[in-house]
Structures are given as C-alpha cells and as structure tokens.
C-alpha cells in the first residue's frame, strides 16, 4: 500500500524544531505586549468577499493564490493574510469604541496557492501586529520600532529597513497617470500580468519580478518618474516626520521608491525589513499604513498601520536550537514506585519521565544522561529507607536525601 505523504507546499513542524517556534511565539508575546498590544485569534477561513474587498481584486493573491470553496451557497476562503480578518473583527466587535490606539497582535497559519520557495509554503505561518486609531506618524514609527525590536530579541541584527511613501489617494492618482504615460509605449513588451495591472493598478507594475519587465522599468524616462517626488505636501510632511522619529530612535533605514507592497489597501507609509542572509527572497517583515481599509469593509473611518512576518523565514534564519532537557528522569525497576514519584514531581511543575518499558538499570541511566538534567534513582536501598539518590547528569555529582525533601 502506498504511503500517504505530506502535500506539496506544506510541511510538518517536528518536535526537534519546536524550540525555535516556541522562541518566536514567546518573544512575540513578550515584545508586543510591552507595547500594549493584545493577542487576537481570528478564524482561518472567512467570507471570500472579505479578501476581494480588503486585499484587492487586482492582486495576485485574490486572482491566483486563494484557496476558495463553496459551502451551503456561500463562498469561503482560507485566509491568505490576516490584516483583513483582524479588521473585520475590529469592526464586528465594536473595537472602534475603545480608547485609541487599539493594538492587536496575532500568530497563526495562512494559505496561498503559489510555487513553494525559500521560507514560504502553501500553508505558512505569520506573526503580526495591527494598530488602529492613530493617523500621526508616531504610530508608524512605533510599529517599525516594534518590528525591529522583535527581530533583535530573536538575535537577528543583520537587518535593513526599507521605507517608502505611496501618498494619499489624491496624490497617488497623479503618480499613476504619469507612470502610465511613460510606460504606455512599452506596454506590448510587458508580461501578461503587467499588461493587466496597467489599467487596474499601475502601481503594482513596480512589484513585478519579471526580469524583462524590470529592464523596461529601469529605462531613464521611467526612472525619472519613479524617483521623482510625487507625494503631496501633507503626505511629504507625514513622511519626513516619520523619518525624523526613526533618526531619533536610531533606526537605520533606506528609501526605496520601488517599494509598493503587493496589497491594494496600503497608503502613505510602506516598509520592509530584510535580512542579508536569505538570498533574493530576503524580506522577513512587510507592512504599512492602510487608512481606508476599515471604512472600505463597512466600519467607521479609522486610520491604521501594521506588519506581518513569515515565521518559516524567521525559523530558517534562526537555525536549529538545542532542545531543552527535561528536569528529571526517574530510574527504578519498581514500576509502581517510579510512576508514583514521577507524578509527585509533575504535580510540583517539574518536567519528568520514567521508563515505561522497565528496561535494565544501566539502560535507564543512559537515557537519563541524554534527556534530563537530573537522574532521580529509586533503587532497593532507597526504597527501603524512603530516600532517593539525585545525580546531576552534567557534573556527575550525586547525593542521597529523604524522599520528602526532594526539590528540583
């Protein structure tokens, strides 16, 4: 009979990998909650309309990558990202009535049907933050700082912050018009996706990964438009104020005018944090401001900004971490007493095991040396005297004490 294997684009996270995953999750809780963010957990499937309206029906995510299915005359989709779901929950649960800012963080699986690549699977995991209710660039600065400090807490320091401003809808329209004017003569030479984006969302032309398209966009007349200052005075003031905050905070950044992000809901500030250890697919964090999304999904007009990080990519940077040993391993050929003592220790929050197969004493001692900090020995002498022998498996030092005095 053929073995059923894990599906392409998915992978098992094995026990020996969990030390790294627990580290990422624990640091997320620790760092984000220092900033006042509260954890939120949303369903892994939502109404398909949520992503079409939120993420944008011109994006590759909606057009090509979503796992959508019909159930009882409803169209449902496994979440390809979590900002739209968090915004839906923000609206549905009346969080706009809370004192601003409302800061939420999340972790969990996302789903996109795409070619698996380094650090990205069809089922992948993200950790992220969303901040609602503040239009000032102080929120932008704090969100970027939060992301940087989270990555630093994981021991990642070889990072580059790339920054751009997409402007507001009014100044962005002017830029789109100018961009289309200089690209139009080359339209027939663009890839099929870019030809489709040209009318629907010309900003996303700059996000194309096609070598041929990038060569066209590097032409001097197109670069002159891309590198020009198209944002209005108010957006420029917002962006300059953000940069001054980052300078004060000591956050190093680079301006990247090609940075547009892949989702339709972004406006003004967009950013990515990249690692120099990941090759071409080197972004570990992406985010930005989405001031119109709450209103577009039926809520009150609420400014917002956030970011998300791919946990598989983070894990690849962190490498393997040594598994934590349990505190104690009970060694005895008296199965009943070994089981009783193990449960006593567990009741005191001591991580502990004993040999379920009741192997020879020397085999149990070998196992203890591999998995535990201490061996707690219950031989015939110890049992007759109501004592235990505790052996430090790192130093080899051991002592015999009364059983009721055992503390680990």
The model's pLDDT over 330-384, given as tens digits with 9 standing for 90+, comes to 999 999 999 999 999 999 999 999 999 989 999 999 999 999 999 999 999 999 9
24 and 71 belong to one structural domain: yes
Query: Does residue 5 surpass a pLDDT of 80?
Result: yes
| 162 part of a folded domain | yes
Question: Of the spans 128-137, 186-195, 263-272, which averages the highest pLDDT?
Answer: 128-137
| 71 part of a folded domain | yes
260 and 313 belong to one structural domain: yes
Lowest mean pLDDT among 204-208, 215-219, 223-227, 372-376: 204-208
Question: 25, 107 in Cβ contact below 8 A?
Answer: yes
Return d(Cα 224, Cα 386) in angstroms, integer. Answer: 85
| 199 part of a folded domain | no
Residue 279: band (very low, low, confident or very high) from pLDDT cuts 50, 70, 90:
low
Domain boundary, last residue among 292, 318, 344: 318
With the C-alpha atoms ordered 228, 166, 115, 22, is the resulting torsion angle positive or negative?
A: positive
Q: Work out how many domains the chain is built from and give that number.
A: 2
CATH of the domain at 132: 3.30.930.10
Share of the chain above pLDDT 70, in %: 94
144 and 286 belong to one structural domain: yes
Strands 326-331 and 372-377: parallel
Domain boundary, last residue among 318, 337, 354: 318
Lowest mean pLDDT among 113-122, 212-221, 354-363, 383-392: 113-122
| 204 part of a folded domain | no
| 118 part of a folded domain | yes
Averaged pLDDT, 296-308: 95
Query: Does residue 385 surpass a pLDDT of 80?
Result: yes
349 and 261 belong to one structural domain: no
Lowest mean pLDDT among 273-282, 288-297, 378-387: 273-282
| 198 part of a folded domain | no
292 and 386 belong to one structural domain: no
Strands 159-165 and 45-47: unpaired
pLDDT for res 263: 65
Return d(Cα 390, Cα 378) in angstroms, integer. Answer: 9
User: Which range of residues forms the domain containing residue 400?
Assistant: 326-405
339 and 309 belong to one structural domain: no
Averaged pLDDT, 297-318: 94
pLDDT for res 195: 80
Domain boundary, last residue among 269, 284, 318: 318
Identify which of 121, 164, 151 has the alpha carbon closest to the alpha carbon of residue 276: 151
CATH of the domain at 398: 3.40.50.800
Return d(Cα 225, Cα 89) in angstroms, integer. Answer: 39
Query: Does residue 194 surpass a pLDDT of 80?
Result: yes
287 and 332 belong to one structural domain: no
For 267, the 3-state DSSP assignment is strand
pLDDT, averaged across the chain: 89
42 and 91 belong to one structural domain: yes
Q: Which residue has the higher pLDDT, 4 or 199?
A: 4
pLDDT for res 262: 60
Return d(Cα 34, Cα 287) in angstroms, integer. Answer: 20
161 and 246 belong to one structural domain: yes
Residue 100: band (very low, low, confident or very high) from pLDDT cuts 50, 70, 90:
very high
Query: Does residue 281 surpass a pLDDT of 70?
Result: no
23 and 140 belong to one structural domain: yes
277 and 346 belong to one structural domain: no
Return d(Cα 11, Cα 68) in angstroms, integer. Answer: 21
Averaged pLDDT, 92-109: 96
| 134 part of a folded domain | yes
Residue found under tokens 């438009």:
225
Residue 179: band (very low, low, confident or very high) from pLDDT cuts 50, 70, 90:
confident
pLDDT in tens, 48-83: 999 888 776 556 666 678 888 898 889 999 999 999
pLDDT for res 64: 72
| 54 part of a folded domain | yes
314 and 331 belong to one structural domain: no
Residue 85: band (very low, low, confident or very high) from pLDDT cuts 50, 70, 90:
very high
């Amino acid at each position: 009979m053929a073995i059923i294997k894990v599906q392409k684009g998915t992978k098992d996270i094995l026990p020996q990998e969990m030390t790294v995953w627990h580290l990422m999750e624990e640091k997320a809780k620790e760092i984000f909650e220092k900033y006042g963010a509260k954890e939120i957990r949303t369903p892994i499937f939502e109404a398909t309309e949520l992503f079409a309206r939120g993420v944008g029906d011109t994006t590759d995510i909606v057009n090509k990558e979503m796992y959508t299915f019909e159930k009882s005359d409803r169209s449902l989709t496994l979440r390809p990202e979590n900002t739209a779901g968090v915004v839906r929950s923000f609206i549905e649960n009346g969080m706009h009535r809370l004192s601003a800012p409302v800061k939420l963080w999340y972790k969990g699986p996302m789903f996109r049907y795409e070619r698996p690549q380094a650090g990205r699977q069809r089922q992948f995991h993200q950790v992220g933050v969303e901040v609602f209710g503040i239009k000032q660039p102080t929120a932008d600065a704090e969100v970027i700082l939060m992301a940087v400090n989270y990555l630093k807490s994981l021991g990642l320091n070889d990072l580059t912050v790339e920054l751009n401003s997409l402007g507001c809808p009014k100044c962005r329209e002017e830029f789109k018009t100018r961009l289309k004017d200089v690209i139009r003569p080359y339209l027939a030479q663009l890839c099929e996706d870019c030809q489709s984006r040209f009318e629907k969302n010309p900003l996303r032309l700059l996000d194309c990964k096609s070598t041929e398209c990038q060569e066209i966009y590097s032409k001097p007349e197109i670069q002159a438009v891309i590198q020009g200052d198209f944002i209005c005075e108010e957006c420029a003031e917002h962006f300059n104020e953000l940069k001054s905050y980052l300078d004060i905070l000591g956050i190093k950044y680079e301006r990247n005018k090609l940075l547009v992000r892949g989702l339709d809901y972004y406006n003004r500030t967009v950013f990515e944090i990249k690692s120099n250890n990941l090759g071409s697919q080197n972004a570990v964090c992406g985010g930005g401001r989405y001031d119109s999304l709450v209103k577009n999904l039926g809520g009150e007009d609420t400014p917002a900004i956030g970011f998300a990080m791919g946990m598989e990519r983070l894990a690849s940077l962190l490498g393997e971490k040594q598994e934590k040993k349990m505190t104690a391993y009970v060694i005895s050929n008296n199965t009943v007493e070994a089981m009783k003592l193990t449960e006593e220790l567990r009741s005191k929050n001591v991580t502990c095991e004993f040999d379920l197969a009741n192997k020879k004493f020397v085999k149990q001692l070998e196992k203890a040396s591999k998995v535990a900090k201490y061996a707690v020995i219950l031989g015939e002498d110890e049992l007759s005297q109501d004592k235990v022998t505790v052996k430090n498996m790192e130093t080899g030092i051991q002592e015999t004490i009364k059983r009721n005095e055992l503390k680990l």
